[in-house]
Amino acid sequence: MTFELRERNGIKFFIIPAFESTGIVRHGFSAKPLDFAIKKQDKRNEAILNFREFCKILGVNHENLVLSDQIHDDKVYYAKEEDRGKGIFKDSDIKGQDALITDRKNVALVTFYADCVPLFFLDKEKPAIGLAHSGWRGTAKRVGEKTILKMVEYFRTNPENLLAGIGPCIGRCCFEVDEPVIDVFRKENFNCEDFTLYKGKGKWMMDLTLANKIILMEAGVKEKNIIESGYCTFCNQDLLFSYRREKEKAGSLVAIIELV
């Protein structure tokens, strides 16, 4: 299983066929040229138009969107009907959250990316969904596992029933880190040799996709139910934004998922 790149009305985007085939979610992960950098004042109007356009393509009502306030942490927020529109079309009191979950229909979860790992979750038995923004800091804090634990707490999700998608992110081919980053993972009791390759001179290449896959499996998700995109944001310059490649000029990609 993998992600699938599609194009509709000239707009490219990714979907997860295993999610789509359930018939109970609308979802997608954006690609260039759409930029969703809504927090940049000079790009806000463009970002709002892009949200409307992308939602139309996905079949999502843009007024249903709930945006997380991401700070590279491990907090998880349970989004409900009263949260619709927060963070995009109206002021938000959702602060310091890097993951969103819901069991409510027509509440569309949204998270931002430009190298960090998008984690999609679908419990088709309940049903319930989740999204988590997992950069290297969030990965070290196991935000994916904590998202699952909250789904267990609120929805009685059985992790063995979960489908999980690991979206486009910076790959091991391009993500070089140094000793202080490795030390953060070691302090959190990770076996870094499982997902890093030492280059010498205090430098490692880190595989965030694999690190998150290990975390999800340790949290009870079956390996056969974990879908990887296989796309590196740094390598695919024509298709995806990358903060490491473009620095402050980088745009923002989005993940969206909604129960129907």
What is the CATH classification number for the domain harbouring 14? 3.60.140.10
Under the banding of pLDDT at 50, 70 and 90, the label for residue 209 is: very high
Q: Tell me the CA distances in angstroms from 67 to 86, 107, 171, 204, one per residue in order.
A: 6, 11, 25, 33
3-class secondary structure, 252: coil
In-domain check, residue 39: yes
Q: What is the pLDDT of residue 89?
A: 86
H or E stretch at 108: strand 108-113
In-domain check, residue 43: yes
Burial class (CB in 10 A: 0-12, 13-18, 19+), 126: middle
| Span 171-194, pLDDT tens digits | 999 999 999 999 999 999 999 999
In-domain check, residue 244: yes
In-domain check, residue 22: yes
In-domain check, residue 253: yes
CA–CA gap between residue 218 and residue 201 (Å, rounded):
31
Q: What is the pLDDT of residue 78?
A: 98
The gap from C-alpha 246 to its chain's centroid, in whole angstroms, comes to 20
Q: What is the pLDDT of residue 208?
A: 99
In-domain check, residue 63: yes
In-domain check, residue 204: no
In-domain check, residue 188: no
CA–CA gap between residue 117 and residue 99 (Å, rounded):
12
| Span 27-46, pLDDT tens digits | 999 999 999 998 887 889 99
| Span 97-149, pLDDT tens digits | 999 999 999 999 999 999 999 999 999 999 999 999 999 999 999 999 999 99
- In the predicted model, is pLDDT for residue 248 greater than 90? no
Considering the entire predicted model, what is its pTM?
0.97
Number of domains comprising the chain: 1
